[in-house]
Structure formats: structure tokens, C-alpha cells
A = this chain, B = another copy of it.
Amino acid sequence: MLTTSQAAERYRPEPNGINAGETRRLPPSTVLWVLPGQGIYREGERASSLYQVQSGAVRVYRIMRNGHRHILSFYGAGEWFGLQDGDIHDDFAEAICDSQIRSVPRAGGPMPPINLLDIALSSLAIANSRQLIVARQGALERVATFVQEMSARNGGANEFELMMSRTDVADYLGLTVESVARSFTKLRTRHIVQLFGHGQRYVHILDRNRLAALST
């Protein structure tokens, strides 16, 4: 649970990245090249464009009043993000690795072939599912669900790289870094996954059944 001392580690978004003015000035369907940690849009900025990940990956998060960062979603190649209800962003979007982002101004109305309603409804479905996970599952179950999610994002591969740090995972799952590390360790010692490579960011799923059984 969140107690007092966490306000000390207030999260500060990267000051780099494009700003609102630049965004608005972009012609239709511009491609941005962004570096790890670089911002794509910021809270308070006008939400005038929609974005699609061409390559790489993005995190979208909010900062809570107590300074805590909560990651609402990760987006991978092909996925759209940046659609909001108001015309002002209430969250931040940043690359988590070298990425190409297509930016499409939302002026005038929906443009084929993208259907804004479809994007909104699928975002809604994902948000609702995540609510169940963060509200009702234990640490191990959350991490197991996360691993499956990442596998699915990699075409269902058994072996893949996590592009985000343990801190990102923790802020996504509503846990601490330590709890995430302990849950990964538990998956490893139970021979459900294997971890290797830089900072244990490569995952090899050994037992899909038991992994799926955890994400109940």
C-alpha cells in the first residue's frame, strides 16, 4: 500500500520530446523518431493528434497527486494511442526504446481507414480487464498475466525480450519493484519461465499451462 515516504520519490517526466506547438504544426501522417525515455506528448498538452507505433514501444502513464506514476498501458507496433475524451491530454506518452511513431492530426473528423470508435472501444475493453487484474489479483498472478500479455504482443512467442525495466512493470501492475522481482523469481524457481540476458529482461516460457493457470 502507498504510505507517506513515497512522495519523496516523486516521478519527473523527461523534459525532452516534442511540445504541443510542434505537434500541431506537423502535416498529416508525419513519422517521429523517438529515443528511449523521450516524450511524445505530455499532460496538459492539446490532444490534437492520434499516434500509431510503427516500431519500438511506448508507455502511457499518469502521475498521481502523491507523485506516484501509474502506467496505464504499453503499446507495441501497429497499435494506436493518444485518443482522449477531452481535448487536453491527462497523461504522458514516452518511448521505452528507439521507436518510430506515426502522428496523425485528428482535425475534421474520423479518417478512413482508422475508426476512432473501434480504437476507443478496444482501449475501453483493455482498461476494464486491467481493472480486474490490479484490483483483484495477487502479485504473482499479476506478473504471470503480464508475461502472457508480453508473449501475445510478440506473436505468441515462447521466447522474447521485455523492453521495459522492472520499475516500469511495477508501475504498470500496481506493485513495487521488489514484489515484481520476487514474483519473477518465483516463476523461475517453479520452472514456469526462464530468465536471462541483460537485467533478466529476456523471458523463455517453459510451461504455458501453469502460467495460464496463474492468471486465473
Binding site for B on A (CB under 8 A): 1-2, 62, 64-66, 68, 70, 72, 83-86, 90-91, 116-118, 120-125, 127-128, 130-132, 134-138, 173-174, 216
Report if A124-B85 is in contact (Cβ < 8 Å); known contacts: A1-B138, A135-B135. yes
- Docked-complex contact B137 and A134, CB < 8 angstroms: no
Contacts of A83 in B (CB 8 A): 121, 124
Number of copies of this protein chain within its complex: 2
Residue on B with the closest CB to A63?
B132
Report if A125-B84 is in contact (Cβ < 8 Å); known contacts: A1-B138, A117-B117, A120-B117. yes
Smallest Cβ distance from A40 to chain B, in angstroms? 17
Residue on B with the closest CB to A2?
B136
Smallest Cβ distance from A151 to chain B, in angstroms? 19
Report if A65-B127 is in contact (Cβ < 8 Å); known contacts: A70-B135, A121-B85. no
